Structure 1
Amino acid sequence: MTVSVVVADDQELVRSGFALILDSQPDLSVVAEAGDGLQAVEAVRRLAPDVALLDIRMPGLDGIEAARIVCAETDTKVIMLTTFDQDDYVYDALEAGASGFLLKDVRADDLVHAVRVAVAGEALLAPAVTRRLIDSVRAAGRAAVLPGSLDVLTEREREVLTLLGHGLSNAEIAARLVVSDHTVKTHVSNVLTKLGLRDRVQAVIAAYETGLLRPSGRFSR
């Protein structure tokens, strides 16, 4: 199956560079490029791609509002593109429905990996972005992401949530717990359902908001 992608960035060189990297992969295809948020939304509505890469700061309609529209109206997964000085927008973008964040200086193989991860229903946050996200959550005292209590989770589900909070993939969690990938998928699904969470990104936030994990200088992908 070929994964279709829309790339939106107001910097033509950045946009074209990302498109070239993705198009070089046999399982990925860039179906449209957009120079602003309005063009990005129109392209997603018209082409229904699997993934949309959206720059945060774009003319006409910024990436966060574009993500809000895309996530509300379509099944397209959204990955936000950011730079270090834009990390304060992370929480708002995740609330809008974004599945992950990448820094614009991302390596080619990490960009490709992020698109594949998003399509698989997982989430990806660059470690530096994760740090800022957790700091933002703690500073603002935000707790709206988690409507339930960890008491509803089994011991194994809490363990899985902890590993999700460290950014581990299903395969990495399976290896750590010595169980099958299918078993991990079941546990992850149960965690999201019981806590009323949308996706793995919200699970990462929940792990810290509840005190299950505490910010340190180290985050895993």
Structure 2
Amino acid sequence: MKNVVTIAIADDHPVLLAGITALLKTNDRFRILGEADSAEASLELARLTRPDVMIMDLSMPGDVFRTIGQIAASHPDTHILVFTAFCSVESALKALDAGATGFVLKGSPSAELIEAVDTVASGQMFVTRQYASQVMNGLRDRNRRQALQEAIKLNVREKQIIGHLLQARTNKEIAAELHISEKTVKHYMTGLMMKLKARNRVEVVIAARLNQEAQLQLQ
């Protein structure tokens, strides 16, 4: 936990903005660097102040999700904490995907907001307790789908050839077993090496095994 955490706050509701600022100022470890009331102003504020934590509402004028991504990309040392009334798992996932590292609902206990600031300032993720398990499940499902998309898909013939490679058979033996020419086997081997980013038969076998294990874990 940092001794002093610098904070910038972006919210287009003056009363809420004043309330958040007043709450955080009661903590001696927090130093408020500035305030903004729109997505565009938030980006400029982040550029000028480079805070440890940027607290952002989602309902401000402008494309807030895009701004979150811009701040995250341009100022990697600034951790973005979404503080919003948008109470949905989808909003939380979208904000985290954009580059936020924290998501807290307005109406949460003030202690939760302070805890969230400390947590994201230390580089960890914080999700409001009401949605924590659902959001984590959503992140896991998304990562699972992404891994499945990235898993290398082999056709039937390629799988047959790899099966024979696992038995240490030569191209000639594989051709005889599959009733195809040795030239065709070599063609498939070239394709497998390209797909699996392998340089030789041994690396094809190793890569194929790893790819198979990855797909089994996703089932």
TM-score of the two chains, using structure 2 as the length reference: 0.60
1:106, distance to aligned residue in structure 2 (A): 2.0
**Which residue number corresponds to residue 97 of structure 1?**
99
1:110 equivalent to 2:87? Answer no
- Which letter maps to 1:89? S
Number of equivalenced pairs: 150
- Which letter maps to 1:117? T
Is the CA contact 2:87–2:105 (under 8 Å) kept in the aligned structure 1? Answer: no
Is the CA contact 2:6–2:52 (under 8 Å) kept in the aligned structure 1? Answer: yes
TM-score of the two chains, using structure 1 as the length reference: 0.60
Q: Matched residues in 1 for 2:123 and 2:141: separation?
A: 29
Is the CA contact 2:8–2:55 (under 8 Å) kept in the aligned structure 1? Answer: yes
Match of 1:121 among 115, 120, 123: 123
Structure 1: stretches of 5+ with no match in the other structure: 150-209, 212-221
1:130, distance to aligned residue in structure 2 (A): 2.3
Is the CA contact 1:2–1:28 (under 8 Å) kept in the aligned structure 2? Answer: yes
Structure 2: stretches of 5+ with no match in the other structure: 152-216
| Shift in CA distance, 21/34, structure 1 to aligned 2, threshold 3 Å | same
1:139, distance to aligned residue in structure 2 (A): 7.8
Q: Matched residues in 1 for 2:23 and 2:100: separation?
A: 21
Q: Matched residues in 2 for 1:43 and 1:20: separation?
A: 19
Q: Matched residues in 1 for 2:129 and 2:108: separation?
A: 12
**Which residue number corresponds to residue 199 of structure 2?**
none
Q: How does 1:1-221 map to 2 (within 5 A)?
A: 1-62=3-64, 64-74=65-75, 75-83=77-85, 85-134=87-136, 136=138, 143-144=145-146
| Shift in CA distance, 60/51, structure 1 to aligned 2, threshold 3 Å | same
Residues 157-193 of structure 1: CA deviation (Å, up to 9, x unaligned): xxxxxxxxxxxxxxxxxxxxxxxxxxxxxxxxxxxxx
1:9, distance to aligned residue in structure 2 (A): 1.0
| Shift in CA distance, 81/145, structure 1 to aligned 2, threshold 3 Å | farther
Q: Matched residues in 2 for 1:145 and 1:35: separation?
A: 38
Q: Which has the higher contact order (CA 8 A, sep 6+)?
A: 1
Is the CA contact 1:78–1:100 (under 8 Å) kept in the aligned structure 2? Answer: yes
Is the CA contact 1:101–1:126 (under 8 Å) kept in the aligned structure 2? Answer: yes
Q: Matched residues in 2 for 1:121 and 1:134: separation?
A: 17
Structure with bigger gyration radius? 2
Q: Matched residues in 2 for 1:146 and 1:70: separation?
A: 30
The runs of at least 4 aligned residues of structure 1 exceeding 3 Å deviation read: 84-87, 134-142, 145-149
- Which letter maps to 2:4? T
1:127, distance to aligned residue in structure 2 (A): 2.2
Which secondary structure state, in structure 1, belongs to the residue aligned with residue 108 of structure 2? Answer: coil
